[in-house]
Amino acid sequence: MTHTPMMQQYLTIKARHQDAFLFFRLGDFYELFFEDAVRASKELEITLTGRAGGGDERIPMCGVPYHSVDAYIAQLIEKGYKVAICEQVEDTKQTKGVVRREVTRIITPGTVMEGKLLGEKENNYLLGVYRADGLLGLAACDISTGEFYATEVRGITGMLDEMTQYSPSEIVLLAPDTDGEELAERLAPYHVVVTRRPPNLDGADRPQDALGTLFSDIAGERTCTESMLVAIRGLLAYLEETQKRSLAHLHRIQLYEANEYMVLDPFTRRNLELVETIRDKTKKGSLLWLLDQTVTAMGGRLLRRWIDKPLLGVVQIERRQRAVEQLIDGWMVRDELRTLLEDVYDLERLAGRIAYGTASARDLVQLKTSLATIPALKQALAELAPEADVLRELADGMDACLDVAEIIEEGITDDPPLALKDGGLIKEGYHEYLDKLRTASREGKQWIAELEQQERQITGIRSLKVGYNKVFGYYIEVTKANLGTLPPNRYERKQTLANAERFITPELKEKEALILEAEEKRTGLEYELFVEIREAVAREVKRLQALAQQVATIDVLQSLAAIAQENRYVKPQMTVDGPMVITEGRHPVVEAVLRGEPFVPNDTELSHEHAMLLITGPNMAGKSTYMRQVALIVIMAQLGSYVPAEFATLAPVDRIFTRIGAADDLVGGQSTFMVEMKEIEVTLTNANARSLVIIDELGRGTSTSEGMSIAQAVIEYLHDVVGCKTLVSTHYHELSHLELTLPRLQNFHMAVDELNDTVIFLRKLIGGPADKSYGIYCAQIAGLPERIIERANELLSSYEGMALPATADAAPVVIVAPEPVAEDHVQEGMAEVTEPASDAEVQLALFEETASSASPVASKVSKAEEKLVRQLQEADLLNMTPMQAMNFLFELKKQV
């Protein structure tokens, strides 16, 4: 098919960007053609039209105005698509034929620089992943803030653990076309955009040297490895490919070991609701929601990173604690800091846009306003007591960048317009020639105003006016009712309207040329001067980013101090290795939600000698809340926060594993029980003696006997093999006997009181096992019909009280208890069973009294004996449900 030159240009550019919507600039619109148009019309709900393109059939087409394109692009990016922006790169007035166009930027979910898709207090990370010999290099970048991190982990599970701490919006998978399928498959459940790119292995034999050519500032004690270098270089190449402009703000990289921080796998992050709730995926109700009293956007993002990566080093933790303590003691200074921080804009993203070349004049004014606050911020910190070493050190290291503020102050007006090419950006007196152009423009406009008064006097038409538009320039407008009074041959007709005529004069035309030339030169020169100022500020982006990090740290510390003082938190004592002692601990989020209502605190003590608590008790008694609060107290302590307790002594844990409230994975085709087993597998594979494991109601998704068997086996493995601090809750009261055989396990239960048929959950953890589950009571208060509740109570009474009474037809049955089993042998199974005695011995035990009698039915009984013994021998008791066991016992009773 033969296409027009313009469509041939489009097809050539589109061939290089097959994986993106191509927004093709035509005048005041961005147009999409062919398949892009068909898909975009559906996704954006805009009209699909067509146009001639040189062939017999019309080409599908749709478009959006250039001034509102950002909203449409945001919709596509939010749905996981990529958008290539194709601009006119030649002046249409000076070009003959087709204007040259080029793709100036490709926008993807991981490369958004501004707009509603960037959460104010959330990072937008793009991840690069490369695997070689079982090791995976990870590089993470937020292009909007300039942050860049890299590490190396072992195995896909380690990669997933690290990945979820960044919550990336896009992943660049660096793998050959024939490889990477397993990685892509494991990433599928996370619903993140995955872009495949081939890895660049050049120079990987000296990764640290190669890294030095990419970044001017390399932080961290970690050495760059081959897999890290490939991930870093692949990520940078992808950014250069898509952004097509300077990335000078990506000058610093932080190398780190994953084990420098507490590792939180995806299950644990979800179960503990660290940054969002399980139910509705919102911030409210999460730990982040509770702790976030930050004032600035960058402070909010830093707090989230601290929660995502709690510290392991006691020295670093105590350093943060001291800063929080200093701000609690200096509460007046803290209040002053909060007031000052309200005038600080998002320095990180401002610096990023300035270096990126997309900052507006208003962005520069916001930067100037923020920098003007820094001296007062430093002075406020200096007012703290001499022992406030951490905060004083932070203040002393702050560069206020006053020279940068001065550059902006000299050149940019205090209230500039949002548009950059319409003038009004540069201050009077900043540039001499610009001031002359402004004078010429003002004088020309004054001449136009005087011309209008002059023409009204000459013609006598009071409604005559002199106007201007971009198409026709300046004109004299007269209504049709007054056309008859115009002097002959004075005006030249220029345009006819419905109710008026527009005219020009030779004098007006001459003045118009002078005015428009002055306006065009003025706006062009203003934009050039603005770009010069922006580039001058961009050269100081390293200083601005360092300042942003310091201000964000102050903001997070004051937030933690405010929360600690408001909620009566205490500073936990940190030890390198030792017991976990929490006195009167409280669940921080639940307590915050229950404003005005009392929260029942509980103690916790886990040591090497008593490392495991087995917690029993009914539903709604508070077992899950208690176990979650222990985990959250540990996380809060290790991010440097005070904790909700009266006293706490803690040693850092390297990982927290939780198995709480599993749900079906319908997309993955996995049941609740399978999800539960997957979480347990992750725990048992990765936990060690320094970990904290929390398991809630293990083994509920299968039969009672299987569930108890799995639960006991897991408990024994954690006790005997892993040896970590562990909290396990269960409804299986039968597991309470493990306290006799596992020396480091202790039984506890949630206290319950019964008063006049009413159950009162006391929410208090006390020693010993529970004796009831109160499931029927929970069903009653949940609103089940009374008939069901009554029937359930009847059945429960019959199950618990069922016996084998003597009957008139048969002698009483005597059950002989087995011999006691030595403790050494009890650990091998959930319900230790001794080898059965011989048939004769069993028959004697069951029917001894019957056999010695001279009853006429003795012969019938002797025949029944064999049948009953055979049934008992063949019965698979361990795999029966409680109901099956009751039915089996009932059948035996009838036979006897």
Helix (H) or strand (E) holding 243: helix 226-243
The answer to the question of whether 467 is labelled as a binding residue is no
Pairwise CA distance, residues 523 & 193, whole Å: 42
CA distance 649 to 119: 36
Residue 674 annotated in ligand binding: no
CA distances from 596 to 163, 587, 629 (A): 39, 15, 19
| Of 280, 292, 197, 202, residue with least CA distance to 240 | 197
- Say if residue 619 carries a ligand binding annotation: yes
What b-and-e string marks burial along 235-267, b requiring 16 or more CB atoms within 10 Å of the CB? Answer: bbbbbeebbeeebbbbbbbbbbebeebbbbbbb
d(CA 655, CA 243): 38
Say how far apart CA 823 and CA 2 lie, in whole Å: 90
For residues 810 and 803, give the distance between their C-alpha atoms in angstroms, rounded to a whole number: 15
Tally the residues of the chain: 896
| 709 labeled part of a ligand binding site | no
Question: Which residue type is seen at 258?
Answer: A
For residue 621, say whether it is annotated as part of any ligand binding site.
yes
Structure tokens given for 886: 């009751």
Cα separation values, 650 from 315, 591, 724, Å: 13, 21, 14
Tell me the β-bridge partners of 694: 658, 727
* 3-state SS class at 338: helix
Distance of CA 585 to the CA centre of its chain: 27
Q: Name the nearest CA neighbour of 636 among 623, 622, 653.
A: 653
- Alpha-carbon distance of 863 to 880, in angstroms, equals 27
DSSP per position, 440-466: HHHHHHHHHHHHHHHHHHHH--TT-EE
CA distances from 152 to 155, 156, 209, 213, 229 (A): 10, 11, 17, 20, 10
Distance of CA 753 to the CA centre of its chain: 41
- Judge whether 359 is annotated as a binding position: no
Question: Maximum Cα–Cα distance for the chain, whole Å?
Answer: 149
Is 84 a known ligand-binding residue? Answer: no
Torsion of CA 418, 420, 421, 425, to 10 degrees: 90
User: Can you tell me the distance from the alpha carbon of 584 to that of 602, in angstroms, rounded to the nearest whole number?
Assistant: 5
Tell whether the torsion through CA atoms of 840, 845, 847 and 849 is positive or negative: positive
CA dist., res. 176 & res. 240, Å (int): 20
The helix (H) or strand (E) run that includes residue 132 is strand 126-132
Do β-strands 252-255 and 573-574 pair in parallel, antiparallel, or remain unpaired? Answer: unpaired
Burial of 20 from C-beta contacts in 10 A (0-12 / 13-18 / 19+): buried
- 622 annotated as a binding-site residue: yes
Angle (CA) 461 465 468, round 5°: 160
In the sheet that holds 492-496, the strands lie side by side as: 465-469, 473-479, 500-504, 492-496
* Residue 273 region by backbone torsions, left for phi larger than 0, else alpha for psi between -120 and 50, else beta: left
Q: Give CA separation, 409 vs 418, 522, 588, in Å.
A: 17, 20, 46
Which residues are annotated binding-site positions?
A: 617-624
Binding-site annotation: residue ranges for ATP? 617-624
